[in-house]
Structure 1
């Protein structure tokens, strides 16, 4: 028996049975070049299989052009294979494995990962990313402001009567010249312990070309002012492109503004389309995204409604900034009170 990674050297070996287990993952099929390389690597299995041998593929689709599209589909990679498909839910909505995935757990899973990834990996359908559509009506709107108090010497930040447990800002910088090029957008979000997210501010930053101050300083000053007003504990700055030199300028302006806010340099490696889908698809499907009424006075709602993953040139500056905030947050599951415990073996109720 030999186990080898997809990039391992198997040339010269021979096999009677080859099991290709989860050879397609999100990181190796998100571009045409990666998909072509994946198929080229898998073609090597045909040369090491002995006559009369068997190749078994086990996996789930991660893109529309998946290895696992039905054999009758045009261009199907596994065209000559017999196919067995066992989706997690049957046509009636029942679980195929109720002991491991009861229906309530399935619904929670769908809320956490979003309908696109759930359909691909749990229902085994090779859905196109273009099928994802964001509806602004799924966002819960509010008009209240944050409330800062100190209780028993501890600071407490609340919103809508709920205590916030984390928060921060994400700045996707650009030159910010009015009406030209990409927008320079700052998103400020908070989160509670129940996994709800609150997009409290969305600022499209610009600069005055006639000002004696350089454009970068002007924008850093605006970001520092908002960070101080919202008491943000951290600001993440995307350092791809022009953002590389901004963190040091931002730290200087934060110090001048007296804002106690950390600056974290964020270099994005994943494609923008993938980041936006991963961040927004789950929270919108689960109705866990709230947004301040100020946010709806910006182009954000139009960007959300018009965004199409497969269409180049679509405006997505605000969506990119918001996705940076959401992806920086840990996944939180709603807490439950501890179950009552019977008397312990020591003859008393366990503490």
Structure 2
């Protein structure tokens, strides 16, 4: 039976009974929930803003309006899902407009209100995302904190989460509404996917306006490009235990549209304004929350609702400088050199981590790293070799294709002097086959064998982290950044043993090999003349004492 009371009124009655002070933030959420009729919608509000509490009142309101409605609550696990049903039961028991709606002993896992018409499907049912909901039917499906840190650690875990959620399409009856409530916990969050897919979205970060500076070691004046609200400017330095909320007049001053310091801040710095709930999230409280947040990604995802891993990304591809140039060989004054734009290349390293190329096997990955005279590295290619290790003609003697042939194409194209092959697994046979292919192609290129014995995650960290923590030391070609490398680096967790890391493992090996210098010209000089482009200190005559 339809009632005339709207949800905001229903909520305000409950809030008065609970003696809550209702901020504008909560009014905004109530109005959106009541008026948004989209089949798929997303409610993202910063941590601690009571979004799940408000949503429990919304679920009680839905049953108050229509006792025949059926809801399925999905969360990360069963206990988390029952939190919403328990909260809804509390509202139904004590809200003045809901008298007589509940039976004597309703269950927290599932319950029927008095007047429900479906004996098979409850008014509300709570299940974890991995629980079996096959055979259920619902008019509303509510995903309350379905994405949490424990179920998004790896690509496989996130894929499994998506598969489980996809099952909701078979549970929802025609005209059903799906609502997602939560905060993002990873860079490829399901919430980002929903937003990009056209879902209706209400997104309320803790601060409406933000501005970030990472290079703060030299300047004392920073332009202020965000509008200021009534609660003024929030200036944070750092993250974690060392974080500070600075005080205007003592730590800085604002003049002529700039924030001015007596000395350079020398730490990551955030400017914020437009606190969504300043009465609750006071300056003292937000500073305490900033101190208790271990990583800047954690802060950005949980309070500013940016899709980032809440854990610190150890291999952040953002710290690699992108470029699009290709190397060229230049000859002048009897000398030959390789240049990448205006930068002279001094050495090159190639690492091949072979794999069979079969379905579900590791990727057969090749990484090409260039190094200039100043020691900067350029990750120029991250290629996947496909197919058999080698393909032969009808005689079985001549190589005509396969992975080694594709690698020979790279060697010839970029004039590469040496390839290091990891000899674990299928790699045991790869060096000999590669040498045969290079000989057949008449390419002068050395082949070295390297057996991986150290812990792989340790190898990757030791190769990448020193370069990524110093800006400008590791560059990456756009073909590398636009391929699988970006996601593999973002997803990579040093605590996880099995994860997609073939390209970054090969890249780590090539980075380790970069001190090597080029010693030969690629190609057979008797067939195709090629020049030695390596940097040289010249020829010197040395006399040894006897």
Length-normalised TM-score, structure 1: 0.54
Give yes or no for contact 1:217–1:249 (8 Å, CA) kept in 2.
no
Alpha-carbon distance between aligned partners in 2 of 1:275 and 1:160, rounded to the nearest angstrom: 31
1:141 counterpart = 2:329: no
Q: Secondary structure at the match of 1:149?
A: strand
Q: Say which of 299, 306, 324 aligns to 2:509.
A: 324
CA-to-partner distance for each residue in 1:268-313, whole Å, 9 max, x for gaps?
2211111100000011111211111111232110001000011132
CA RMSD, aligned part only?
A: 2.8
Would the alpha carbon gap of residues 186 and 316 (structure 1) be closer, same or farther in structure 2, given more than 3 Å must change? same
Mapped partners of 1:305, 1:132: distance in 2: 6
Q: Per chain length, whose mean CA-contact separation is higher, i.e. which structure has more relative contact order (CA < 8 Å, sep 6+)?
A: 1
Q: Does the 8 A contact of 2:349 with 2:511 survive in 1?
A: no
- Equivalent position of 1:154 in the other structure: 335
2:383 maps to 1:203: yes
Q: 1:245 aligns with which of 429, 450, 474?
A: 429
Alignment of 1:112-191 (within 5 A): 133-177=314-358, 179-191=359-371
Tell me, yes or no, if structure 1 residue 315 matches structure 2 residue 494. no
Match of 2:467 in 1: 283
1:136 shift after superposition: 1.3
1: distance between equivalents of 2:364 and 2:400? Answer: 11
- Matching residue of 1:292: 477
Q: TM-score, normalised by structure 2?
A: 0.35
**Distance in 2, Cα, partners of 1:312 & 1:267:** 19
Q: 2:481 & 2:501 partners in 1: Cα distance?
A: 15
Residues 195, 331 of structure 1: 8 Å contact kept:
no
Q: Answer yes or no: is the 8 Å Cα contact 1:145–1:159 preserved in 2.
A: yes
Change (3 A) 1:212 1:250: closer
Report how far residue 245 of structure 1 moved: 1.4
Question: For residue 414 of structure 2, what is the aligned residue in structure 1?
Answer: 230
Q: What is the number of residues matched between the two proteins?
A: 204
Cα distance, 1:216 vs. partner?
11
The answer as to whether partners of 1:303 and 1:315 remain within 8 angstroms in 2 is: yes
Deviations along 1:80-135, whole A, 9 cap, x unmatched? Answer: xxxxxxxxxxx8xxxxxxxxxxxxxxxxxxxxxxxxxxxxxxxxxxxxxx866221
Gaps of 5+ in 2: 1-241, 243-310, 518-546
How far, CA to CA, are the matches of 2:401 and 2:421 in structure 1?
A: 14
Q: What SS class does the counterpart of residue 402 from structure 2 fall into? A: helix
Q: 1:294 to 1:239 in 2, by over 3 A?
A: same
Counterpart contact for 1:276–1:319, Cα < 8 Å:
yes
Distance 1:216 1:328, change over 3 A: farther
Q: Is the 8 A contact 2:488 2:504 kept in 1?
A: yes
* Contact 1:231–1:259 (Cα < 8 Å) also in 2: no
The answer on whether the counterparts of 2:369 and 2:380 sit within 8 Å (CA) in structure 1 is: yes
Between the aligned partners of 2:442 and 2:493, the Cα distance in structure 1 is 41
TM-superposed CA distance for 1:198, in Å, is 0.5
3-state DSSP class of the match of 2:457?
helix
The structure whose Rg is larger is 2
Gapped regions of structure 1 (runs ≥ 5): 1-90, 92-129, 333-351
1:212 to 1:156, Cα distance in 2 relative to 1, 3 A: closer
Aligned residue number for residue 85 of structure 1:
none
Contact preservation (8 Å) 2:392, 2:401 = no
Q: Deviations over 1:220-256 (max 9, x none)?
A: 1111111110111110000112111111110111122
